[in-house]
Amino acid sequence: MIRIANGQGFWGDWLEAPVRLVEQGPLDYLTLDYLAEITMSILQKQKQADPNLGYARDFPPLIARIAPYIRDRGVKVVANAGGVNPVACAREVNRLAPGLTVAVVVGDDVFPRLDEFLAKGYEMRDIDTGEPLGPIRSRILSANAYIGAFPLAEALATGADVVIAGRSTDTALALAPMVDRFGWLAEDHDKLAAGTIAGHIIECGAQSSGGNCQVDWTSIPDMAAIGYPIVEAEPDGTFSVTKHANSGGRINAHVIKEQLLYELGDPKRYLTPDCVADFTSIRLEDAGPDRVRVSGIRGGPRPPTLKLSIAYTTGWKAIGTLVYSWPQALEKARAADHIVRERLRALGLSFDEVYTEFFGVNACHGPAAPSNTDPPEVQVRIGVRGPDRKAVDRFTRELIPLVLNGPPGATGFGEGRPAVREIVAYWSALVPREEIRTEVQVVAR
């Protein structure tokens, strides 16, 4: 049995979680999941500005903090913190935590190969819309293939203390230690599916140990010190989900079921680079306090294609807010929205979309929100998006004047005009698996 914990569910998650995981009890592996689809484009722009950047910069200082536990207790770290520059990330880890062996997995970044793929006849149509890639080719910022657990397991097999990947799947981080330690093969479909589902359960960190939980959330103990999840995995593919004793939070079948539904499409065919997992085969059993036993998982052969995560620019946006107080807070907010729209029309400005929300009334639930005709305060949030940056910038100059020339009682304008930001959109496509060639590199200490 091996113990695999996940201490980060996204880049920006609780910095203390991984430290507490290695401090509070025994672990064999610590996984850290940093990457969302949009993160890759941010990192690509950073790398274009500075070739030494392009990775999750929180990661090297964290490794420096927990380096004594890596050295003394043999905890191995597996993370996708490398973003679009895993080698630079590894070098910074070596600088801040000397003496550790660091291995990186490269090959997922296919941004330089897009024209090669198009020349080979791969249209790389968007999975959702079916549109070909060609029309947006000149606006692409990043392109990365989702790689699975086997390249990460190959990196672990070098004896590395820390394994750094770029755009691996979230589930691969936890599956890779099982592949390495248990010797699972590509044909072990059920076992790979089990490891994949284990990774899926813990990939969002404390979301599987009571965080963001809808079931009786007010009774969840000590969320200020919430314990992050640990998988206790066995060679036959069965596993338990638990957390360190005396940590906050809660783990039971209800909490795990909520996480299982996270980002789930066809529950019988959950596609990953390593296998196809059947979520309908999962059997959950509460096996003690803060412990859920998972068994019965079935899987199938891995798909012949790999998914690409592509980010591209598609115009500009700006979003501004004002707060109106009682009395007539909602009427004031609606009047402010009307005034802004009329002034934009009078200026002859057009946008792809002008969108308004009224926080405190119906922003979260829309028409399903209960009636609230006389709220004590309302935040009006107005956003525009379009291809003309100058038009978007002109919009930003129309909101703040309402403080003096619009409805009474406006506040919340201390930050001044809203910023104009570039819009980055997401495109997902498929390429033949054999086109993605990964490589493991051990970065010198």
What pLDDT is attached to residue 445?
Answer: 61
What pLDDT is attached to residue 44?
Answer: 82
DSSP code, position 297: -
Q: Of 200, 292, 194, nearest to 243 (Cα)? A: 292
Q: Of 74, 64, 81, 82, nearest to 19 (Cα)? A: 64
DSSP codes of every residue in 298-355 = EEEPPPSEEEEEEEEEEEEEEEEEEEEESSSHHHHHHHHHHHHHHHHHHTT---SEEE
Extract the tokens encoding 253: 């079948």
Number of C-beta neighbours around residue 338 at 10 A: 13
CA distance 445 to 426: 37
Digitized pLDDT (tens) for each residue of the chain, 445 residues in all: 999 999 999 999 999 999 999 999 999 999 999 988 778 878 888 888 899 999 999 999 999 999 999 999 999 999 999 999 999 999 999 999 999 999 999 999 999 999 999 999 998 999 999 999 999 999 998 899 999 999 999 999 999 999 999 999 999 999 999 999 999 999 999 999 999 999 999 999 999 999 999 888 999 999 999 999 999 999 999 999 999 999 999 999 999 999 999 999 999 999 999 999 999 999 999 999 999 999 999 999 999 999 999 989 999 999 999 999 999 999 999 999 999 999 999 999 999 999 999 999 989 998 899 988 899 999 999 999 999 999 999 999 999 999 999 999 999 887 889 999 999 888 999 999 999 999 999 986 6
Length of the chain: 445
Long-range contacts of 65-72 (CB under 8 A, 24+ apart): 65/19, 66/18, 66/19, 66/22, 66/30, 67/97, 67/99, 67/100, 69/22, 69/23, 70/22, 70/97, 70/100, 70/161, 70/162, 71/99, 71/100, 71/161
* Contact predicate 238/191, CB 8 Å: no
Q: All domains of the chain, ordered by start, with CATH?
A: 2-108+146-303 (no CATH), 310-427 (3.30.70)
Helices assigned H by DSSP within 184-281: 189-202, 253-260
* Contact predicate 251/242, CB 8 Å: yes
Q: Residue written as tokens 């064999």?
A: 28
In angstroms, the Cα distances linking 356 to 74, 170, 304, 318, 353 are 53, 34, 44, 12, 10
pTM (predicted TM-score):
0.94
Phi and psi (nearest 5°) for 297? -75, 135
